[in-house]
Amino acid sequence: MSKPTQKAATLTTESGAPVADNQNAATAGVGGPLLLQDQHLLEKLARFNRERIPERVVHARGSGAYGYFEVTDDVSGWTSAHFLGEVGRRTETFIRFSTVADNLGGPDAARDPRGFALKFYTEEGNYDLVGNNTPVFFIKDPLKFPDFIHSQKRDPFTGKQEPDNVWDFWAHAPEATHQVTWLMGDRGIPASYRHMNGYGSHTYQWTNAEGEAFFVKYHFKTNQGIRCLDADQGAELSGTDPNSHQTDLLQSIERGMFPSWTLYVQVMPAAEAADYRFNPFDLTKVWPHKDYPLQRVGRLVLDRNPDNVFAEVEQSAFSPNNFVPGIGPSPDKMLQGRLFAYADAHRYRLGVNHTQLAVNAPKAVAGGSANNYGRDGLMATNAYDRHAKNYEPNSYDGPTESGQPLSAPRPLTGHTGTHEAPQHTKDDDFFQAGELYRLMSKEEQKRLVANIAGGLSQVTRDDVIEKNLAHFHAADTEYGKRVEEAVRELRDS
């Protein structure tokens, strides 16, 4: 028995008036010029012109999904965060994966770090963990970030990414050698978003109920296993299916093959940070697992696709300064810079009221709106009690401060000014890059050398090539020699 046909809704203008004809614009007579009074035509074209918003300067190309995080192990001795406080507790999440350097229309299978931005809709507010699929990054000071990104993006004259720019910046940033080794290795092109790890990358602070502070690093280990593409596979897939990772994520969830990751943390008592052999707040360094073993926390599962990619993925906004009680920042300089930059980017792209959008709205407060005194601005949609005041303190029972800091305070000493990061006993820019190289199999090393040489050999200035070769020699003698020989061979051919 067939179902009765449901009558279609009437098409309306933005103001709700019915549209009589959506096929023909109004004209001055048959075949005549268009009429300025055709409100539906003007509104439709004007809205179309404004459909797009500025893309993200970095992480422009992305995919997202909803899911949940479930605590599997007791970590209450390290943090008082409510959503981590009980084994079995589940928290709704939204994640956005992305490439870093390319524009919105770039291919998913590019050689590039991947963003791994996770929003926890906790009962104490939204907690955003904004990381990558690598545990380290190219630089350690946010003052260099705009220059770094400019060197990796399209050249203002040629309009395309230039090897001269890419490698010239790295030649002047020896601390990038570790991340370059990651990027040019096998994990530089994940086979899909499901088949890569995620990392908080930065060092964060956890504080327990007793006020004890710990520094932590987050590791999300994929339960699908690591799968990667080599340079030829990545280039072929970029040409045949630029949306490969988006398609894979969408289809796997639609088929009920829900991707999952196991979260581990490394935990360092705060008192050990000052004397650790590496600077624990240096984003170009990892903490060896033998020093601080992985401690299991829980499981992340993605089980629902967004209904509208623009509304929920493109308009999703993550900021590492969105903390909850029990979690806070560390002195990591790159993290400190991002505490400002991310929120500021969203205020520019989406407007000051972007936290009222459904994907960004906190679920910890009634109606999904923040309890504060912010008012007005572009696209303000919150409905307030008409008697509510917009200042604090007040005598009208408005929201008041809790008096409870989110994380433990840190003592500070010294003089203001521009300072290089404090040196620890084993700090240098090359040791961990060499360690990573030596961990690779012979075949992995072979592909790494070929990938580096393929890009470095295209650089037109000999001095830039020599500076980069010196970095690889400093990381490992064999590493440097093999890259040098491969570059020479390509340049002589």
Beta bridge pairs of residue 114: 99
Q: Which residues contact 133 (CB under 8 A, 6 or more apart)?
A: 113, 114, 115, 116, 187, 190, 196, 197, 198, 199
Helix axes 462-475, 177-184, angle to 10 degrees: 90
* Cα dihedral 461, 462, 464, 467 in deg (nearest 10): 180
Rounded CA separation 316/225 (Å):
27
Residue type, 175: E
The region that residue 295 occupies, defined by phi over 0 for left and psi between -120 and 50 for alpha, beta otherwise, is beta
DSSP codes joined into one string, 373-430: S---STT------TT--SSSS-SS---------SS------S--S--PPPPPTT--SS
Q: Give the distance, in angstroms, between the CA of residue 446 and the centroid of all CA atoms in the same chain.
A: 30
Sign of the Cα pseudo-torsion (438, 440, 442, 445, in order): negative
**Joined tokens for residue 434:** 């060499």
Is 132 annotated in the active site?
yes
Report the 10 Å Cβ neighbour count for 72: 14
Rounded CA separation 384/367 (Å):
11
Q: Which residues contact 216 (CB under 8 A, 6 or more apart)?
A: 78, 200, 203, 204, 205, 206, 265, 266, 267, 268
> Pairing mode, if any, of strands 204-207 and 327-329?
antiparallel
Rounded CA separation 218/300 (Å):
13
The active-site residue, picked from 126, 132, 322, 353, is 132
Task: Give SS3 for 252.
Answer: helix
Rounded CA separation 415/115 (Å):
35
Rounded CA separation 212/210 (Å):
6
Is 59 annotated in the active site?
yes
Active site residues: 59, 132
